């Protein structure tokens, strides 16, 4: 587990195995990173980009596109982009698959990626719980004696390590059919030129507190759906789902 953690933390500096995957040259990606501009017009990034994207094709004519919206860092978006590619482009999909097969593979891929990420931070969560058990109960952190300072510093470091997440939307093009899957609020939009102008259709569903199906799902998990809808956020995020 420790090796997995180091790999996850260092992933933003290391090359990805997906660098060797063939790109789809029939598509393009546009992005605008967070930038601050000085008086002379020079721009610099205020912090590393938290988002990621992919546009690959496999040898069996399967095309995979994805956009990943991260928060609290880019570790999770990098992890998800790499693992989803591995779960979808290494022979799991082929031209003989039916629509039901493709849906099953997509659902399984999202499930595997989420479980893999949670496993990668298992030891960090365990260490956090162990350290917290060593603190006096009912005492605010700012009132703790000096001998607990190292524990508090380590807890802050662990919190940075396990915090963050990613919302994702992916599109698979196989046998001239388009499949879309998402978690969170990333949107897949189908744009068509018609005689009346540009027609835009959203292909997926937003996972937010405005979505009644999502509120019902959360209530089935034992959460107070009414309070969640009133607050409009969960853990500071408008999205009700993320990786």
C-beta of residue 207 within 8 angstroms of C-beta of residue 187? no
Q: What are the C-alpha distances in Å from 87 to residues 71, 82, 100?
A: 23, 9, 17
Residue 21 pLDDT: 82
């998402």: which residue's tokens?
182
Please give the structure tokens belonging to residue 151: 């524990």
C-beta of residue 31 within 8 angstroms of C-beta of residue 53? yes
What is the Cβ-side half-sphere exposure of residue 160, based on CA atoms within 13 angstroms? Answer: 6
Mean pLDDT of the chain: 86
Q: Render pLDDT for 142-162 as a digit per residue (tens, 0 to 9).
A: 888 889 999 999 999 999 888
Residue 2 pLDDT: 46
Please give the structure tokens belonging to residue 99: 């629509």
In angstroms, the CA 184 to CA 68 distance is: 10
pTM (two decimals):
0.78
Q: Is the dihedral of CA 200, 174, 52, 81 positive or negative?
A: positive
List all residues 6 or more positions away from 188 whose beta carbon is below 8 Å from its beta carbon.
169, 171, 180, 182, 202, 203, 204
The pLDDT > 90 percentage for the chain reads 45
Neighbouring CB atoms inside 10 A of 133's CB total: 8
pLDDT band per the 50, 70, 90 thresholds, residue 48: confident
List all residues 6 or more positions away from 203 whose beta carbon is below 8 Å from its beta carbon.
178, 180, 188, 189, 190
Please give the structure tokens belonging to residue 125: 């969560």
In angstroms, the CA 114 to CA 193 distance is: 37
CATH tag, 2-25+44-186: 3.60.40.10
Q: Render pLDDT for 197-237 as a digit per residue (tens, 0 to 9).
A: 999 999 998 898 888 898 899 889 998 888 888 888 887 78
Domain ranges of the chain: 2-25+44-186
Q: What is the DSSP string of 8-21?
A: HHHTTTS--GGGGS
């Amino acid at each position: 587990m420790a090796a997995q953690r180091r790999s996850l933390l260092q992933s933003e500096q290391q090359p990805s195995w997906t660098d060797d995957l063939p790109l789809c040259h029939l598509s393009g990606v546009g992005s605008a990173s967070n930038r601050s501009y000085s008086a002379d017009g020079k721009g610099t990034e205020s912090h590393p980009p938290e988002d990621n994207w992919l546009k690959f094709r496999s040898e069996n004519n399967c095309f995979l596109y994805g956009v990943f919206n991260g928060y609290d860092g880019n570790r999770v978006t990098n992890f998800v982009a790499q693992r989803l590619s591995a779960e979808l482009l290494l022979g799991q999909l082929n031209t003989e698959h039916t629509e039901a097969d493709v849906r099953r593979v997509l659902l399984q891929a999202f499930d595997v990626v989420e479980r893999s990420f949670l496993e990668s931070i298992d030891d960090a969560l365990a260490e956090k719980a162990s350290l917290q058990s060593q603190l006096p109960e009912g005492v605010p952190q700012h009132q703790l004696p000096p001998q607990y300072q190292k524990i508090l510093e380590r807890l802050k470091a662990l919190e940075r390590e396990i915090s963050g997440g990613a919302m994702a939307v992916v599109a698979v093009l196989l046998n001239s059919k388009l499949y879309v899957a998402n978690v969170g609020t990333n949107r897949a939009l189908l744009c068509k030129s018609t005689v009346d102008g540009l027609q835009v259709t959203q292909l997926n569903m937003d996972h937010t507190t405005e979505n009644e199906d999502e509120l019902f799902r959360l209530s089935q998990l034992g959460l107070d759906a009414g309070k969640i809808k009133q607050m409009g956020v969960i853990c500071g995020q408008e999205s009700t789902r993320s990786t």
